[in-house]
Amino acid sequence: MKNIKYISILDYRTISGTKVNIRLSYQTFGMSLFEAPIVLVNHALTGNSNVCGSSGWWRELIGSNKTINTNKFAVLAFNIPGNGYDGFEIENYKDFVARDIAKLFLIGLEKLKIQEVFAIIGGSLGGGIAWEMAVLKPNLSMHLIPVATDWKSTDWLIANCYIQEAILKHSSKPLKDARMHAMTLYRTPESLKQKFQRSKDTDELFNIESWLSYHGKTLSKRFQLSAYKMMNQILRTIDITRDRGSFIEVAKTIKSNIHIITINSDLFFKTEDNWNTYINLKLHKENVTIHEIKSIHGHDAFLIEYSQLSKLIAPIFNSIAEKNENNKYNFVRNW
């Protein structure tokens, strides 16, 4: 597998108290680490560390002369342990929560001798993990960019993860069926109406049905059942306030400039929740902003509306820090 590297983390004790050995894998792109500002990219549920290049899942955003310019930045991406991309599986997925993944990523950074990064950006599940990392290490990042996500798993999200787990446990075609259900949450009725207009593939089959079946089959070919169970578990357990205190008490400790990117039609991570986060946090923390992607495509807009997303985050990545006499980057925590 191209450019994939590994970090051994021995005897990691999960928040639930289980001791495990983890093989944390990662990839780097663009400039060499420590030769340029580092951007950490956290992947979504079915994503992985391959974030750019011809097969990269965020290649429209990250690459040579793209918004996150690999000619100017060192890009680092970890695989969530158990996502299957590196062949490492986790069967006891219930032992893990989102904060465990954040802690493992921080251990990975420590082993790579990375003390500070220019930005952490993550979409969906990856953005939730980014929130968790920012609380665990408030001085880690100059910029925190959670995209189409939230700092907590809402009741609505937990409910859908519960249904997903039931499908994964009981269906005769678990990956296909779970993915078909998920696709209806990632899009909106308006998006599907625009795309299909009640058209038919055959006399008996609507094109929307063919499309759902295609996505279900495609995921089944490249994803593992254990990986889906693990990612679903991590998704349902995002919560930076767990055993800590109120959201404001916890979030105001984050030193990063926080740039919330929400989607007006997102049915998965509701834009109302993101706006409430912004309004409440802005009363206590000056360097927080919110921007909204306008789209009919729902949650998946963060993988579709690249023109809008690029425009919203471009000012962040156009202001690269300069090196000082100690060969470190001067990070100014305002925007």
- The reported pLDDT for the residue numbered 333 is 44
Query: Domain 156-234 classified CATH 1.10.1740.110?
Result: yes
- β-strand pairing of 62-63 with 68-69: parallel
Residues 224-279 pLDDT 10s: 999 999 999 999 999 999 999 999 999 999 999 999 999 999 999 999 999 999 99
Strand pairing category for 257-263 and 141-147 = parallel
Report the C-alpha gap between 46 and 24 in whole angstroms. 17
Cβ within 8 Å of residue 185, ≥6 positions away: 160, 267, 268, 298, 299
CATH code of 5-153+239-317, in short, is 3.40.50.1820
Question: Residue 332: its pLDDT value, please?
Answer: 45
Instruction: State yes or no: pLDDT of 308 exceeds 90.
Output: yes
Residue 242: its pLDDT value, please?
97
Q: What is the mean pLDDT of residues 153-176?
A: 98
Q: What is the pTM of this model?
A: 0.94
pLDDT of amino acid 54: 92
pLDDT at site 328:
53
- Could you tell me the pLDDT band of residue 283, with boundaries at 50, 70 and 90? very high
The domain limits of the chain are 5-153+239-317, 156-234
Report the percentage of the chain scoring pLDDT > 70. Answer: 95
Does residue 327 surpass a pLDDT of 60?
no
Residues forming a β-bridge with 78: 26
Tell me the per-residue pLDDT of 113-161, one tens digit each, with 9 for 90 and over.
Answer: 999 999 999 999 999 999 999 999 999 999 999 999 999 999 999 999 9
- 330 — pLDDT class (breaks 50, 70, 90): low
Provide the pLDDT for residue 335: 36
Could you report the per-residue pLDDT of 198-230, keeping only the tens digit for each?
Answer: 999 988 899 999 999 999 999 999 999 999 999
Q: Which of the 8 DSSP states describes residue 298?
A: G
**Which DSSP state fits 320?**
P
Q: Is the pLDDT of residue 319 over 90?
A: no
Count other C-beta atoms under 10 Å from residue 184's C-beta: 15
Q: pLDDT over 90 for what percent of the chain?
A: 93
Kindly state the average pLDDT of the residues 279-298. 97
The reported pLDDT for the residue numbered 3 is 87
Q: Residue 2's pLDDT is what? A: 65
Per-residue pLDDT, averaged over 94-101, amounts to: 98
Cα–Cα dist 307/304, whole Å: 9
**Does the pLDDT value for residue 322 go beyond 90?**
no
Confidence of residue 323 (pLDDT cuts 50, 70, 90): very low
